[in-house]
């Protein structure tokens, strides 16, 4: 109790201007801290609102089969790199894929193939589906369908906030660095 009275005596004897200045300084520091936290929270919300989520999947219907790229996120995705390869080589276009995977096929051409071609630098909007390739059913494409499963598709993309992901297989993996573009390995250029 004695300390309490000493504190009150100190306040009475202190210059009121010093107390007001100290209180203003403390209030300013608290306001600055709150502002910094608010900016951090807003940045996190902004990233969440602009988060693209690309997935690869196969599609089958009565007309044929194909490989589809879908943006299931709520932000725009910019395609930076697009590679298709198997264990031994990187492909340049779908015609080369057909020649290597089904060399006996003579009637598979662009009249039964629908493709999006090179998709580098394209923007994929939320809920947009993009058919990387779609082949109509024929006897030759039925044989090709079994071998096309050996393809590995690698797509590196970014959000508008320069966050980077790579899709290999079905789901994206976040990358800490920019997409590396190697013209020798890029598909569709």
For position 32, what pLDDT does the model report? 93
pLDDT in tens, 3-52: 777 777 777 776 777 778 888 999 999 999 999 999 988 887 777 777 89
- What string of H, E and C letters represents the secondary structure of 69-102? EEECCCCCEEEEEEEEECCCCECCCHHHHHHHHC
Query: Which of 14, 8, 160 lies closest to 74, judged by CA?
Result: 160
Q: What angle do CA 67, 73, 74 make, to 5 degrees?
A: 135
Structure pTM? 0.73
State which residues of the chain have pLDDT below 70.
1, 14
For position 29, what pLDDT does the model report? 92
DSSP the chain: -HHHHHHHHHHHHS-HHHHHHHHHHHHHHHHHHHHHHHHHHHHHHHHHHT---EEEEEEE-SSEEEEEEEE-SSS-EEEEEEEEE-SS-B-SSHHHHHHHH-TT-SS-STTTEEE----TT-EEPTT-EEEEEEEE--HHHHHHHHHGGG-EEEEEEE-TT--EEEEESSSEEEESSPPP--TTT-S--
For position 69, what pLDDT does the model report? 92
């Amino acid at each position: 109790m004695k300390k309490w009275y000493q504190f009150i005596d100190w306040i009475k004897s202190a210059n009121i201007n010093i107390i007001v200045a100290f209180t203003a300084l403390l209030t300013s520091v608290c306001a600055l801290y709150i502002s910094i936290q608010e900016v951090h929270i807003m940045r996190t919300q902004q990233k969440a609102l602009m988060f693209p989520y690309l997935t690869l999947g196969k599609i089958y219907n009565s007309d044929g089969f194909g490989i589809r790229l879908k943006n299931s996120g709520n932000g725009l995705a910019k395609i930076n790199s697009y590679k298709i390869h198997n264990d031994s080589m990187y492909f340049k276009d779908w015609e080369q894929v057909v020649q290597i995977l089904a060399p006996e096929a003579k009637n598979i051409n662009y009249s039964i193939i629908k493709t999006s071609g090179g998709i580098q630098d394209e923007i994929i909007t939320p809920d947009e589906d993009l058919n990387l390739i779609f082949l109509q059913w024929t006897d030759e494409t039925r044989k090709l369908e079994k071998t096309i499963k050996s393809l590995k598709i690698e797509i590196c993309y970014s959000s508008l906030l320069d966050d980077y992901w790579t899709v290999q297989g079905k789901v994206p993996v976040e990358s800490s660095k920019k997409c590396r573009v190697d013209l020798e390995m890029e598909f569709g250029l």
